[in-house]
Chain A
Amino acid sequence: MPEILAPVLDGLLIGLVYGLAAIGLTLIFGVMDVVNLAHGAVIALGMFAVYFLFESGIHPYLGLVIVAAIGLAFGVFVYLIAVRPIIDGPPLMTLLATFSVSMVIIGVGTALWSTSPYNVDFPVKTLNLFGYTVTSARLVAALAAVLVTAFLYTFLYRTTLGKAVRAVANNREAAELMGIPSQQILALAFGIGTALAMLSGALIATLFPFTILSGGIYELKSFVASVLGGLGNPTGALFGGVILGLIEGAVAPFIKVSWTNVIEFVIFVLILLFFPTGLFGGRR
């Protein structure tokens, strides 16, 4: 097996999870023009959710369904108290509002769980496929990301509710004129975005140790993936996540591991400056 292939495959697998996280962010932006700065905090909540479920005896993979449900409910809740009142105001307000939610979550999380690392210690198998060593956890995480994305697509394109969401994303006033209750759809969309973020957090927790502050780094990766794919474009976000994972994997053998973050952020700023609609075209 050529040496470059292993890190690239690793990057692909983890990239799918980044993509899942990014979809959560980009969906909310696409539907209601809101950059959810609580994204990272919610990812961290997902990590803790799966940890506590595991401690109560529920296997992490089964717990994913519960985590999604919690995410949906929490997202709707956050929307109603922090976003809805100012959704039609200046963009600064929604930015600050979601950021303040993030601060509250992280503050409460730190007070409750401190910043000492947590670990979901469930048995993991190491597999050797044609010379490529990989843990079962990483494969399942990637698979779960793909499944959830497929599920999301089925929802958005094959169900009436999903179509309503796409209608509101496209043109809120027109959708209202067609009789779609836009406020409820917005709440639902925010809930779905939050659920996706929490799910990605839960999957990441099966791979690495975490603290309430771990969400930050994945939030920034979500931003990079989202802008790569074009903010507002869920397919783009998934591809953006995969591209990001591949870049990480391909670049890691050649440069110091600690430079990957710098490179990601430089990409981020460059894309924002020169390709604001992303590589695949977003909403703007």
Chain B
Amino acid sequence: MKLLSRPFFWLIVAVTFLYALLPYLGQNITLRETLVLSAIYIILAANLNLMIGYTGYVNFGSIVFFGLGGYLTLWLIASHHWGLYPAVLFAGLVTSLLAFLLGIGVLRLRGAYFALATIGINEAVKDFVANFEPWGGAEGIFLPFTAFKAMGGPAKALWTVYLLIILVMGLSLLLTYLVKRSKFGLGLFAIREDEDAAMVLGVKAPLYKTLAYSLSAFLPAVAGGLYFFKNGSVIPDEAFNLHLSIEAIVMVMLGGQGTVTGSAVGAFLYERLRGLLLTLPGLSNFHLVIAGALLLLIILFAPGGLMGWLYRVWPRLRRVLE
């Protein structure tokens, strides 16, 4: 298969293995907790890239998929005693389907209207869930501890979930890479350049856009299910945190929108910066200021992000690092 011959594919595999093995081999919990956050950010950024970078539609409320995935998973486990694997897969599929149905309507809007609508969706879902008693209302869902015992005890469960999250991270990078090199991806890029022209040329824009939106929901939903399972609980403010959505945008822009490496590198760098700021006393809220300032600087001076800059300096890099 042509994929296996491309060095970038192996790069993705290598990074995934590194993330998985480094903490696991040494049973290093501190490293695991740091890397899991980094992995979640990469998952969010990479999947968001499908909308921002490829299709050119800015999804401000992308976190809604993460939250829905978390809620659906925990609800199935807590109230219906499903196992983790079926619950997470089901959550991913249902969220994807919801995204598809929602997308049919919402993607008829363009530019700023679409962005505003996505914010509206996230806030509406958050408020709805906060009032929805079967899902715990404002209190959220807390898993009975037996859920961890069912996976061999909390220590083992935490490691298993970590490895699953890393798997999802690898799949996210792989997915965005495959889409980029496919005819579907080409269509998306055409939409981004000029949607009307693309349609004239035969690209089924409404279908493609909606597919991209739906696809960009699946893996974040699965990741949400895994992440909140690990946390043992999910509450509305955590699950539908608009700031995280925005930070995902910053990550994509920082790394370079439209590139696979960009979203991963951007996510990784941003998470490091954020982690550093959070532990410094007094500066713990500064990560928002830095993110904001960073975003502004990128917009004003380097809209192509890090990868955009690297590509200009080393044009050959474009062929290896997508």
Chain A interfacial positions (CB closer than 8 Å to B): 35, 82, 85-86, 91-93, 95-97, 99-108, 110-111, 220, 223, 227, 256, 258-259, 261-262, 265-266, 268-269, 272-273, 276
Contact = CB atoms under 8 A, between A and B. Distances in A.
Contacts of B108: 273
B286 to A, nearest CB: 6
A258 to B, nearest CB: 5
Given A95-B112, A269-B117, A262 B124 contact: yes
* Closest 4 pairs (CB-CB, A-B): A103-B292, A107-B289, A107-B288, A265-B124
Main secondary structure of the interface of A (DSSP, over half): helix
B251 to A, nearest CB: 13
Interface string B97-117: 000000001101101110111
A100 B292 contact: yes
Nearest to A111: B285
Given A268-B120, A269-B120, A272-B109, A111 B127 contact: no
B304 to A, nearest CB: 12
B111 A91 contact: yes
B116 A259 contact: no
Contacts of B123: 220, 261, 265
Interface residues of B, number: 44
Contacts of B207: none
Contact of B285 (A91, A93, A107, A220): A107
B120 A107 contact: no
Contact of A93 (B116, B287, B294, B299): B299
Contact of B288 (A86, A110, A269): A110
Chain A CB within 10 A, most for which of B108, B283, B303: B303
Contacts of A261: 123, 127
B223 interface: no
Chain B CB within 10 A, most for which of A95, A100, A272: A100
B289 A273 contact: no
A95 B300 contact: no
Interface in B237-256: 246, 249, 253
A272 B292 contact: no
B292 A276 contact: no
Given A92-B58, A100-B292, A272 B131 contact: no
B68 to A, nearest CB: 15
A57 to B, nearest CB: 30
Contact of B289 (A96, A104, A265): A104
A230 to B, nearest CB: 12
Contacts of A99: 246, 292, 295
B282 interface: yes
B287 A107 contact: yes
Interface string B278-314: 0000110111111111111001100100000000000
A273 B295 contact: no
A107 B292 contact: yes
B289 A97 contact: no
Contacts of A82: 296, 300
Given A96-B253, A103-B289, A223-B119, 19 more contacts: A86-B299, A95-B115, A96-B295, A100-B299, A101-B296, A103-B288, A103-B291, A104-B293, A104-B296, A107-B287, A107-B290, A107-B292, A220-B120, A261-B123, A265-B123, A272-B116, A272-B117, A272-B120, A273-B105
